[in-house]
């Protein structure tokens, strides 16, 4: 009896995982559809055309694995940008130019915020 209960719970949780796995592509489709609607409201036909092509591509070839991989690549690229901004700030601090230091600090903060936003996004 315990085995059947355990098996049932495992299957239910696995089916939930399978459903969740397909949601990234569906979410991407919904995001694009929302953007299409917004572009249509603002009579931006070029944007609508581009988004419709993107939607067709997503429907044809989207997989959660591809989305996750692309998202991870974006995070890694942003991490490299943050590291570069940190180096720029250190160079400015070594030079002692207060104006450059303030500018570099602002740019570093912007990059960190963008990285944080990327890391918190689902894809």
Domains recognised in the chain with CATH numbers: 23-62 (no CATH), 64-122 (1.20.58)
Give mean pLDDT, residues 32-55. Answer: 97
Structure tokens of 37? 């609607």
Whose CA is closest to 32, among 14, 10, 50? 50
Q: How confident is the model at residue 17 (pLDDT cuts 50, 70, 90)?
A: very low
Structure tokens of 116? 């944080």
Q: Say yes or no to pLDDT of 5 above 70.
A: no
Residue 87: its pLDDT value, please? 97
Structure tokens of 87? 């180096």
Give mean pLDDT, residues 9-27. Answer: 55
Q: Say yes or no to pLDDT of 2 above 70.
A: no
Q: Say yes or no to pLDDT of 110 above 50.
A: yes
Say if residues 114 and 78 touch (Cβ distance below 8 Å): yes
Residue 22: its pLDDT value, please? 62
Long-range pairs of 84-90 with CB within 8 A, sequence gap ≥ 24: 85/111
Beta strands in 9-101, from DSSP E residues, in sequence order:
none
Helical segments of the chain, H only: 2-21, 23-41, 45-61, 64-95, 98-120
Structure tokens of 29? 């489709």
Give mean pLDDT, residues 109-113. Answer: 97
């Amino acid at each position: 009896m315990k085995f059947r209960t355990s098996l049932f719970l495992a299957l239910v949780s696995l089916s939930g995982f399978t459903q969740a796995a397909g949601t990234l592509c569906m979410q991407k489709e919904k995001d694009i559809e929302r953007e299409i609607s917004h572009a249509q409201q603002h009579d931006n036909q070029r944007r609508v055309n581009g988004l419709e092509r993107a939607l067709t591509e997503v429907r044809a070839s989207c997989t959660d694995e591809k989305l996750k991989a692309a998202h991870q690549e974006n995070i890694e690229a942003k991490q490299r940008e943050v590291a570069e901004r940190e180096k720029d700030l250190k160079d400015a601090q070594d030079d002692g130019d207060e104006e450059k230091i303030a500018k570099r600090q602002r740019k570093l903060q912007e990059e960190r915020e963008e990285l944080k936003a990327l890391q918190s996004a689902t894809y």
